[in-house]
Structures are given as structure tokens and as C-alpha cells.
Amino acid sequence: MRAICGSRLNQRGTAFIMFTLMLLTVILPLAGLAIDLTIMYVVQAKLWEAVDGAALEGGRLIGTASTTDLTGLVSQVCSVNFPPGYWGSSSQHCPSNAANTIIVPPAAPTYAYYVNVQGDVTAPTIFMKIFQVPGVLVTAAATVTRRQARIEVVLDRSGSMGGVIGSLKTQVQGFVARFTEGYDEMGLVVFGQSAVVGYPLQNAGPYDFNPAHHATGGPDTYFNAFSTGCGTNGASVSTCDMPYVISTINSNGRTNMSEAISLAYIELQKSYQRDLATNPGGIDTRNNIIILFTDGVPNTMSVYLNDPDVPSGTAMSAAVAAAYPVPGVLSPGNSLLPTDTPYPTITPVPTPTPFKTWVQANEDKNHSTCFYNPSNVKNAGTNPNGATLADISANQMIGTLGDSDDSNNSSGGLSQIASLDTRTYASGSQTTAWSMRAVAADEQSQTLLVPPLNVVKYCNTLGWNLLPANGEMNVVNNTNGALGKSYLDIKTLPPWDLYGNLLTDLGQGHGVSSASSFPAGTGYSGLITQAGGTTNDGTDAGNGAQLQMAAWNAVDQGSNRIRSDTTMNITFYTIGYSGNGGTDDVLLARVANDPTQVGYGCKCSTLFQITGSTQRQGQYFPASDTNAIGDAFNKIAGILLAIYR
């Protein structure tokens, strides 16, 4: 008993001793190791955050300062993000010198700027000091890429935009401000009844064949250069910047989308060629982008009203041949640039077909197409007869065809295109006349003809009016003097529009609906049932439904041709505002070549994409209200700025 009691007494406190031993040898070291490791991770996470933030700042500011200045700024930001002595750390390099911040200028194969930032620091230890480990070296690195952008913004300013044009302008101005002036390139095309280049202003049109002018055309880096909106750019040209030009946009006219994207393409080519010529090594480093905004469906297109290739043996043929296949579109041997670099090949190359005139003149149906031959200007007011068929044949005439699908609708029909004029805007004198509808006084007074391209002008056989208040070339019904059906004046549709975009079906587009055919080269025939159940004469080329389908196809064909350019690799982003009666989701998804449309809940599917191609895939953004328009522009900016780790 005593032995037992003694043994128990001897055991008193052993649990405490054993626990203490275990605490000292096992629990505390383990807990200490865990704490040291966690501190190390915290320090490393902070270091990662520091180099991340510094790299993002450097990436965002590329182009705004010299590489040396940016390197210094990256170092400053890194120091803010990782204060000296953070959590007891030491030997901080965040980054310590230029060797830890490397800004790599664009080069093949990515042609992107790289900002590489590295940092290292010694994280403190508490318990591991017992084992002679006073600190642990942790490192972090971040890389940001930023590719230069070349962006052509294409804005719909048609009449239906009236309710949201103000909001759109604000949002687009905000979009422009997100890009770096002096680094990115930006341009603007605006379209209604026809399209014009809004920025840069000088020598912006596609019909100016003076090579010296085109060196200054196309998107440039001065797009946001002037605090007051206008000033003198780097080429010593007095001009206005893009936000200012955007502020002048008013809504009017119809929806000539195919001309708009074609002008955008031409503008991008100008800058591309210019940069190729001036960049060291002759490389182009930019993402080529077209951003198309619209609130409707294409219903108008610009065409030759007569066959430019068969001018009845007049002197016109030489001029047309010089610009063949399509003036204004760069083609082999037809460069708009002084370097005369053949670019690009139009695919498919339009095949000349000996068509006659597309329009009717002084024909039957009791209608007189009263085209005015500019060579007879001096006789204005005395010659009420307008142009004869011979006049039309002898002159190359350009105009827009709109879908005037009711008998007395003057909003469509034949109109003169705005981009024909040779505007040279002085600083601050930009007007809101974006097409020849609602022409402003300054445009009326300017030369509207670019020889040898003669332009049809309005005439009114009853009240002869040489310079109308708008640029319409509508027709007059001889029997009652009222504006007549424009479609009665369209004899047939040409096979392609002014820019070489085929008006026929590319696939999934609009084609024939019955056996009755139009003349060769067109894809329209048969009876077309329009909304509301009205059956139109599908054999009539001037029928509104036919014109609209042709305009639809011109956009589809045109965008496909632009995306097929494997040299520039142009990407489309499209925004469709559905608040003004609806857009065509399918068309806009096809233009963008968007593979994700199912996710947006629209009816699009892979069926509507250009399948099997290597074309760049863009994105279509349906927008149901003005906030959604802003979000769409913001998302596109995020994609294009392409700052990422």
C-alpha cells in the first residue's frame, strides 16, 4: 500500500511536465512554423500585389511618357504598394532599379508592349530564428501587355437616332477618352443616307485621288489632342479632334451601312500603309478594329446609277479604267498612297458585265427621271428637260438607293452621297451636315464634283431647283407633279455597290424567293412579302423590299471581305441598339463574326457565323437601352486596351 501510495505521489505533476515537454518540443515549433509560413505568404502576397499594381500602372501609361520616366514611375508605385519594412521585411527590391523593370517595345511576333516588373524581399521569421533562419527570400513578378490600337468608330446617325443621339455622343466621347492620345490611333465614320469620314477631317473622303492628301488620312494619334476641341496637329494642319467632331453629330437620313464600313476599311488602310512606311523595320504593330454602332437595319446603299464600265464609248472609260475595279477601294495597282503599294486584293474581284444603265430615264410608266447633267449647269433654269438616257450613259453617276417602299415616300429613293464633296474644314468650321440630306450652307457652296465623276443633281421638272434644301435626287411624277415612286426609276440593281461589295447572297443572307429573276448578276426575284402582309412586286428592282435585301447583303458581303484581309486582320465589334424599332441581330453577329452569340440569348447560332474561316472573331453587343450602349462601349474598351497579366 505504501509503495503504491509513494508511487502515486511520485507521479503527481507528471502530466504537466509531459505537456510542457510536448509543448516545447512539438506544439510550439509547429505553431511557430505555421505562423512563420503564414507571415511569409502574407509578405509574398503583398509583394505580388505591389508588382502587379506597378506593372498595370506602367502598362496603362505606355505611350504617355518616355521609357525612362515610366520605369521611374513603376518604381514609385511599387514602393507605395510595398512600404519599406512591411511586416518586418527587409532587403526590399520592388523594384530596385531598371533591371527589375523591363519595358519591351513592340516586336514580332506579338507586336505588343510588355512591362515586366520583378520584386524580391526578405520575409521575417519569428520562431524559425531558433533554427538559425533569420529570414526567407520571397520573390514575385508580373507582366502586363499593351498593344497599340488602330480603331475606326462607325456611328449611325440616321433619323431614328434622334432620341438617343445625345446619349450616344457622350458615351462615345467617354470611349475615346479611354485611349491614349499620342499612342493609339483613332478615326470616325458617320453614316445616315450616306457615310462620311468624320475624323480626321482633312482630306478624309475616299474620292480624293491626290496621293499627297492620303498620307494624312486615316486614323491618327491626334484624336484627342486639343483641350478646346480644335487646334493644330503634328502635321501642322488646323483641325478639330474627335470628341469635338462627335459633339457636332445630328441625326438624319437613312441607314447606309455598307458605305460606312467600306469607308472605315479604306481609312484603316491609309493608316496601315502610312505606318508601314514610317515604322522602323516596316512593320505594323497595331490591332486593326472597326466598331460599328447602329440602331436599325441597312436600307440604303451607294451605287453607280449607270454602268461605270460601259460608258457608251465616251471619254469616261479611261478615267473609270484608271480606278477600276472600284474607285475609292484600294486594289492591286490602285493604291491611294504615294508608295503605290498594291493593297489589298478585292475578293472576289467584280467581273465587269456589260450592263446598261441601272436607272431609267424618260421611259414609260408615266414617270420622268429628271437627272441633271452638271455640264449643263449654265443652262439651269432654262432647260427643264433634265438628262436624257444619252446623258446618263455619257456620264458616270453616283448616288444612293434607298428603300422607299411606299408610293410617295421621299425619305428614301435616290440621293446624292455626301462623301462626294471635297470638303476642307477649317478649324472649328465642322458642320452637322453628315450627308447631303439637310445640307448645310457651307456644303452647298462647295464644289460637289470631283472630275471626272459627275454627279446627278436634283431637278424638278415643274419647279426647277438646282440647289435644293437637301441632296435628294428624287423623281417627279409627270402626271401630277408629286414625288413619285423612286423604284420606278431603277431599272435594275447593279451586281455590286460603289465599293465593290456584292449585293447578292453570301449565304444565310437574303436571296430569291421565286423563279422570276432580275437581270444577270443580281440575286433578287419573285414576290416579296413585307411586314404587314403587303406583297410587293419582287421583279421590280426598285421595290423597297428588294433594295433593303440588297443593302443587307452589301453589308454582309462587305464585312466578310474586310475580315478576309489576312494582312491587316481586322476585327469587328458591333453594337445594336434595339430601342428604335429593332436591329438585325443576325446581321450584326455575322459582321462581328461572333462565336458567342448563343450566350446573349439572341436567335444567333453557329448557323449565322462565317464558318470555317480564319477571320478574326469579334463580338456583338445587343443594347436595349442607353445604359447598355455605354456598357457595350466600356466592354469593348476593356477588350481593346488589353491590359492583362
Partner 1 sequence: MRNQKTRGNTIIEFTFVVAFFLLPMFLFTYAVGFNLLQQLEVVQLTRDAGHLFVTVPVSLSSNDFQSILNKVGATVGFNSTPPSTAEVIFAKVIYVDTGYCNAGGGTCSNINNWVFAQYYTLGVAPTGFVPLLAGPTGVGTTGSNDGTYGILDQVNNSKLLIGPNLPGSLSTILPYAKSSTQGLPSGQWCDFVQVAATPFNVPLVVTMNALTDYAAF
212 near partner 1, rule: CB under 8 A: no
Smallest separation (angstroms) from partner 1 to the CB of 398:
40
In order, the DSSP letters of 330-369 are --TT--SSTT-------SSPPPP-----SB--S-STTEE-
Q: CA-CA distance, 347 to 332, in Å (whole number)?
A: 11
What is the nearest approach in angstroms of partner 1 to the Cβ of residue 535?
Answer: 46
597: left (phi over 0), alpha (psi -120 to 50) or beta: alpha
The residue from 29, 33, 72, 600 that contacts partner 1 (CB under 8 A) is 72
Exactly one of 3, 13, 364, 382 binds partner 1 (CB under 8 A); which one? 13
Among 21, 25, 26, 64, binds partner 1 (CB under 8 A): 64
Interface with partner 1, residue 638, by CB under 8 A: yes
CA distance 213 to 216: 6
Contact (Cβ atoms closer than 8 angstroms) between residue 228 and residue 269: no
DSSP 383-404: -TT---HHHHHHS--EEEEE--
What cell numbers appear for 631 in the block? 456598357
Helix (H) or strand (E) holding 558: helix 544-563
Residue range at the interface with partner 1 (CB under 8 A); choices 56-64, 276-284, 343-351, 447-455: 56-64
Residue 35 engages partner 1 in binding (rule: CB under 8 A): yes
Q: Where are the alpha helices (DSSP H) in 572-641?
A: 585-592, 626-641
The mark string for 219-248 relative to partner 1 (x by CB under 8 A, - otherwise) is --------x---------------------
Q: Out of 16, 278, 282, 533, which residue is the one contacting partner 1 (CB under 8 A)?
A: 16
Q: Is 42 in the site for partner 1 (CB under 8 A)?
A: yes
At its nearest, how many Å lie between partner 1 and the CB of residue 170? Answer: 9
Question: Does 79 participate in binding partner 1 (rule CB under 8 A)?
Answer: yes
In the bound state with partner 1, the residue whose beta carbon lies nearer, of 60 and 213, is 60
Per-residue burial over 237-275, b = 16 or more CB atoms within 10 Å of its CB, e = otherwise: eebbbbbbbbbbbbbbbbbbbbbbbbbbbbbbbbbbbbb
Among 21, 24, 68, 479, binds partner 1 (CB under 8 A): 68
Q: How far is the CB of 631 from partner 1 (least distance, A)?
A: 7
d(CA 296, CA 579): 9
Question: Which amino acid is located at 46 in the chain?
Answer: K
For the four alpha carbons of 280, 281, 282 and 283, in that order, the dihedral sign comes to negative
Q: Which is nearer to partner 1, 19 or 131 (CB)?
A: 19
Q: What is the DSSP string of 101-148?
A: EEEEPP-TTT--EEEEEEEEEEEE-SSGGGGT--EEEEEEEEEEEE--
- Site size toward partner 1 (CB under 8 A) is 53
CB of 79 to partner 1, least distance (A): 5
Please identify which residue in the block is written with the cell numbers 462587305: 558
Q: Which is nearer to partner 1, 626 or 634 (CB)?
A: 634
Name the one residue in this structure whose C-alpha cell is 478594329: 289
Angle at 196 between CA 373 and CA 187, to 5 degrees: 155
Is residue 149 near partner 1 by the rule CB under 8 A?
no
Of the candidate spans 72-80, 337-345, 370-378, 462-470, the one that interacts with partner 1 by CB under 8 A turns out to be 72-80
Residue 184 touches partner 1, criterion: CB under 8 A:
no
Region from 50-58, 231-239, 245-253, 615-623 binding partner 1, contact rule CB under 8 A? 50-58
Q: Does 15 bind partner 1 (CB under 8 A)?
A: yes
Binding piece for partner 1, criterion CB under 8 A, among 13-21, 330-338, 387-395, 461-469: 13-21
Residue 162 makes contact with partner 1 by CB under 8 A: no
Q: How far is the CB of 483 from partner 1 (least distance, A)?
A: 44
- Contact predicate 456/417, CB 8 Å: no
Distance CA 23, CA 251 (A): 81
Site of grid cell 437574303: 510
CB nearer partner 1, residue 82 or residue 265 = 82
93 is an interface residue for partner 1 by CB under 8 A? no
E-assigned strand segments in 194-252? 195-199, 230-232, 238-240
The residues binding partner 1 (CB under 8 A) are 1, 4-5, 8-9, 12-13, 15-16, 19, 31, 34-35, 38-39, 41-42, 45-46, 48-50, 52-54, 56-57, 60-61, 64-65, 68-69, 71-73, 76-77, 79-81, 83, 178, 227, 631, 634-635, 637-638, 641, 643-645
